[in-house]
Structures are given as C-alpha cells and as structure tokens.
Structure 1
Amino acid sequence: MDGRPPGYVHDALLYDSADELVAVAAPFLLDGLAAGDAAVVATSARTADALRDAVNGDPRVHVLERHDVYRARTPTAITTFRSLAEQRAAEGVHRVRVVGEVDFGPTERDWLEWQRYESVINAALADWPLWGLCVFDTRRLPEPVLESALRTHTSVVGPAGRARNDRFVDPAEYLRSLPVPAEPLEDTPPRLSVHDVTDFIGLRHAVAAELTGLAAPRDLIEDFQLAVDEMTSNAARHGRPPVRLDLWTGADRIVCSIRDHGSGFDDPFAGYGPAHGEDLSRGGMGLWLARQLCDHVDVSRYDDGVQVRLTVRTG
C-alpha cells in the first residue's frame, strides 16, 4: 500500500423520507470532513437544503448546482467529477465525497441515458479518488430507475449501515443488456438520404441546407452538424463502404442515422472519454464529441455493419 485512497467507490441510498436521507447522507459528509476528505453535494435544491441544514451550514460542504452537473450530457458530467478530484488534489485533499442526485428527466428515453451513465462511471471513474453516494427518492422516481440503481452500484447504504450489493451487474454486461429504443421517425421517409457517402464536403452542405430554417438555436444546429460530420468520417475511416446517411426532422427533434458495413466494435464504454485518454493528438474523439453534442447517441450492431443514431431535441 502506498497510502493513497482507493479508487472510485459507488454507493446507493434508496430512501423514502427526508429523515432517512439526512440520517445517512449527513454523517457521510461529516465523517468525510473529519477524515480530511472534501465534501460535495450535487442534488436537487430540496435535497441540498435538507443536507445544508443537517450539517449546520458547514461552509466546508460545497454545494453544486445540479443542473450544471447532471443536465449536461453524460460525458460532461464525468469530466466535471474528474476535474473536481483534480482541483481538490491540487489543494492537498486526497479524496472527494459526493452526494449526487441525478435528474433522470421526464421520459423513458431520458432515463436510459442516465441509466447508462450510472453504470459507465464504475469504469470511467475507477481510478479517481472519489466516493459517490447516489441518492434515489423512492417516492418520486419510477420503478425502472430504482431497479437500475440496484444494478449499477457496488454497495447499498441505509440507516443500518453499508453493505455489498449482490444485485450489482458488471458494467460491460449491464450496458450491453440495455435496449436501443425504437425511433418512430425512422419509420417515415427521411428528409435527406445518401446511400453511398463519398463527397464529404457536398454532404456537409446538403445536411446544412436541410437544417436551415428549423426553429432551433443556431448553436444547437451547428453542434449537431459537427456530430454528424464526425460520425460520418468515422464510418468511412473505420468501417467499410458503402456509408449511408439518413436525416429526419420532427416537431421536437432531429435524428440522423449513419450506417456502414464494417465489423464495428464491441466497447460499451466507447465515447464516454477520448479513446486515447488525455492524449487528444492521437484522435479517437469522434464518438466522444458526439456524446457531448447530442442528447442521445445510440450504437447498434448488425450482421452487415454498424449504425450510429444521433438525436438532438429542438423543443
């Protein structure tokens, strides 16, 4: 042992009252401060207020705006926690304890992205000196989200203490088990369809022309175009021709499917960080960028190739 704290610890608290939340989460934070850890809260305002009161407003407990952490796309949330650990390490703190409360969103489609996230971070943060206590309000959250909490956390915590979670599923296995949701727009004629992409500059102009005039912020459109460009280039570079692109626009979203005929890849963690870590000069940024620029990125493997589907909400 070299005296360093262990890597990422991922605990879950499923609670059904404010008293139970405070009884577990407040000591978690205060015990951390007593041990020399940093203490951070990234939750809803309701939860943050309850915990702030429980620790008597201790200024050492740092409260983050949940929107800044969790309403960003999932790779950005991972980057936020890594940066937090780096900042505290520079200040001489060896570990950061975080009480986190994901905003899973209103729809099953939104839930899925954050279910993926809760599993991915077991690998993405594995070597980082972070101890996460993720809190789940059983009175408000839907059953699929509560079930996923028990599949994605290595330990469960309650008033009686902390215990190993026997229902935890290996992250790679869990991620592969999650469905790729159907997209109804794919059952309609696309707004743009290119069956054999060879002219990438021409394709870029064609996509831009189809998106011009949509009732959506310009920066959102530009980000989506960049994601499409990256994924199309990836398909041509790493897959086998022909590369096909289909684009749909709906009342509240834009969807683009890029499909090639290569053997694809079987890495369920792809795109949640640069393929080559901190060395961005080596490339491997396409899927990572797409996950940051789009609300949903779905990868499907078929016998004859791979499809990446990009979705961004416009309303």
Structure 2
Amino acid sequence: MPAEGPAGTGFVHHACLYGSDAEFLATAVPFVRDGLAAGEPVLAATTPANIELLQRALGERAHALDTAETAYFGRRPVERVTAFLRYHDRRARPGRRTRMIAEPVWGGKSARQVAEWKRMESGLNVLLAALPVWMICPYDTRTVPADVARAACATHPARLDGRRLIPCAGYADPGAYAAEVAPPRSPAPPGAARTGPTARRAAVRRFARERAVAAGLSGERLALAVLAVCEAAGYLLAGGGTRVALRAWEEPGAVAYELLCTRDGGRALAVPAFVGFHPPGPAAHPEDGLWLARTLSESLEVRAKGALTRVTLRIAGPGDAERL
C-alpha cells in the first residue's frame, strides 16, 4: 500500500543525500512506487545511470514513470523552473499531487553558476509554494562538492533517507539565503561605455545594439542580446522607475550590461525575491519581460540598495573562432 504523502496541498521540498546506488534506490523507489500506486504523475529527472537503476527496480511499472536526463532538463535556473512548471501544468491531475525527483547537475559549473543554482534550490520554496508538488532533490555525495552537499540542508526544509524524514536544522529563509550566497558584484570597469539616465526605450535599444555590435555579435545573436536588454529596462520602467542609466563592457566570453534604475522620491523599486522566474501565462504580467531577459541571458541579477535598483545581465559573446 502507498504511504501517505505530506499533509496539505502546497509545495513539499525534500533533499536526498546519497553515497551509493543502493542509498539512491532506497529513497527513490518507494517515492515513485507510492506515487504511481496513488495515481499521481511521477517524474524522475536524474542521471541516465540513475534512470536505468530506477527502471530496473520498478520492473513492469517502469513504463508509467516519466523520465528526463537532468543535464538537459533546464540548462540554467530560469529554464529549470520553467520545466518544472510546464511539467506540472501538462500532467497535473485534479485532487492529486505531482511527484518529481529533480537532481541538480553540479559538475563543471563555475563559482557564479553554483551560486545561482544554490539560490534557485532555495527559491523553489517560494516559486512553487502554491503548487501540489512533492519534490525530492538527490545529491550524490560521491561527486558533489562538500559545500554543495552542506547547502542542501539550507535550501530544503527536510531530507529523506529511505522513508525516514529528517528535518534540516540549518534550513534558511529563501530570501535571506539568496542574499547570503549572491555572487560578488563585478562593478563596471572605468572604461565601460555609458549612456543615460533616460526614459526613452529607443535610446536603450540603440545603446544595447551598439555595444553588442562592438563585442562582435551579429545576426540572431545580436537581435536577442538587444531584446534582453530592452526587456530588462522595460521591467524597471514599468515597475515605477523613471530613468535608466546603462553601462556595458566586455568580459571573457560575454558582454555585460548594467542597468541602474532611479525613481522620483529617492527610493529603490520594490523588487520581489526571485523575480522573473515564472514564465508568461495567459494574462500579461509585469514580470514577463524580465523572465524573457533571464531566458536570453547567461546570467541576470537584480539588486536593490538605497535609491538604486541594479540589474546586471551577461550575454554570451562570440567564441574565438567566430572572431577570426
């Protein structure tokens, strides 16, 4: 018989720290079997090796399990959140939870990317709070860095070990945690190109295009870079900003843009935590443009301090071969 799931109807977020195939299966198999027996949609987004282990353990029930190779289930945090939401929207059944095994990929990521993924793991507690989703995030302690394994207990309220639920004493408020692990700000260098402050979107578009062309972008990549900057500026101006100043500079492998937004009255904009991670829905929403800017950028950070709201985004630059 399936074990009872968590009480309530909102999002439930558990970590699973495992150090062997047997430990992974001890948690994953009951989770999947109970969900399938209850008629719930179940997704396993994990490594190909773990998918194979799980399918063998399930036997004839394996055909009822949805699977995804986790390395391709959202390359960046904004894409990952979108993938979760779209799976739920597509497979949700009235009156039933949706179960997900969602293993993050940590290998090969830069320090900035690791920080972004840690923040996303914490942010899921906010972004998916209203959904009837039970998510387990496995962390393979044989391969993940020690600081990432420790972070699992700060970004999940509890962890599962088989069927045993262990509260995470180190669980942190998502907004506070996101601020704590934010990557260090890379200020604009003295030689950065500048324009504004301006409220004219045509001026923003012209500056974004000039700097992207100077960085070597062309064609579709140029158009998408300009769109990302314009959508970020549009979000700031639509949210109560009166003017936007822009800076741009080149970094290895990227062109960076910094948007500094001011408003009358000397106060920064009220920016919700984890803003711009929800994909657009049927009705227009002020965050839609920022979601698009996140999707088109390699990274996008929003910070508010004092009278300024600062958005920094990085667009992938042309590779060395493209410059030849």
**TM-score of the superposed pair, with normalisation by structure 1:** 0.86
Amino acid at match of 2:229: V
Shift, 1:271, TM fit: 1.4
Contact 2:235 2:286 in 1 (8 A): no
Contact 1:36 1:93 in 2 (8 A): no
Q: CA RMSD in A?
A: 2.6
The 3-state SS of whatever aligns with 1:297 is strand
1:233 and 2:238 are equivalent in the alignment: no
1:313 and 2:321 are equivalent in the alignment: no
Query: For the residues of structure 2 that align with 1:53 and 1:216, how far apart are their CA atoms?
Result: 47
2:273 aligns to what?
Answer: 268
1:290 and 2:293 are equivalent in the alignment: yes
Q: Deviations over 1:61-98 (max 9, x none)?
A: 11113234231x323322322222222235x6822211
2:101 aligns to what?
Answer: 99
Q: Structure 2 unaligned runs (5+)?
A: 1-6, 320-324
Query: For the residues of structure 1 that align with 2:32 and 2:257, how far apart are their CA atoms?
Result: 44
Pairs within 5 Å for 1:189-200: 189-190=191-192, 192-200=193-201
1:110 and 2:113 are equivalent in the alignment: yes
Shift, 1:5, TM fit: 6.4
Q: Deviations over 1:23-69 (max 9, x none)?
A: 21122111211222222111122222222222236111111132342
Report the more deviating stretch, 293-302 or 253-262. 293-302
2:140 aligns to what?
Answer: 137
Shift in alpha-carbon separation, 1:237–1:266, aligned structure 2, 3 A: closer
Shift, 1:299, TM fit: 1.6
**TM-score of the superposed pair, with normalisation by structure 2:** 0.84
Report the more deviating stretch, 196-205 or 106-115. 196-205
The 3-state SS of whatever aligns with 1:280 is coil
Match of 1:18 among 10, 15, 21: 21
Report the more deviating stretch, 285-294 or 20-29. 285-294
Shift in alpha-carbon separation, 1:217–1:126, aligned structure 2, 3 A: farther
Pairs within 5 Å for 1:98-247: 98-104=100-106, 105-159=108-162, 161-183=164-186, 186-190=188-192, 192-212=193-213, 214=215, 218-238=219-239, 240=241, 242-247=243-248
Shift, 1:20, TM fit: 0.9
Amino acid at match of 2:71: H
Query: For the residues of structure 2 that align with 1:194 and 1:252, how far apart are their CA atoms?
Result: 23
Query: For the residues of structure 2 that align with 1:33 and 1:279, how far apart are their CA atoms?
Result: 31
Q: Deviations over 1:155-196 (max 9, x none)?
A: 111147122222211222222333242327x23521x31142
Shift in alpha-carbon separation, 1:253–1:75, aligned structure 2, 3 A: same
Overall identity of the aligned pairs, in %? 26
Query: For the residues of structure 2 that align with 1:290 and 1:265, how far apart are their CA atoms?
Result: 19
Match of 2:66 among 55, 62, 65: 62
Q: Deviations over 1:217-245 (max 9, x none)?
A: 74343222112112223334445555210
Shift in alpha-carbon separation, 1:235–1:87, aligned structure 2, 3 A: closer
Query: For the residues of structure 1 that align with 2:95 and 2:242, how far apart are their CA atoms?
Result: 51
Query: For the residues of structure 2 that align with 1:283 and 1:267, how far apart are their CA atoms?
Result: 12
1:248 aligns to what?
Answer: 249
Contact 1:70 1:102 in 2 (8 A): no
Shift in alpha-carbon separation, 1:159–1:127, aligned structure 2, 3 A: same
Amino acid at match of 1:211: A
Query: For the residues of structure 1 that align with 2:233 and 2:163, how far apart are their CA atoms?
Result: 52
Report the more deviating stretch, 192-201 or 135-144. 192-201
Query: For the residues of structure 1 that align with 2:43 and 2:219, how far apart are their CA atoms?
Result: 35
Query: For the residues of structure 2 that align with 1:49 and 1:93, how far apart are their CA atoms?
Result: 30
Shift, 1:11, TM fit: 0.8
1:36 and 2:39 are equivalent in the alignment: yes
Shift, 1:122, TM fit: 1.0
The 3-state SS of whatever aligns with 1:272 is coil
Report the more deviating stretch, 94-103 or 76-85. 76-85
Query: For the residues of structure 2 that align with 1:288 and 1:231, how far apart are their CA atoms?
Result: 9
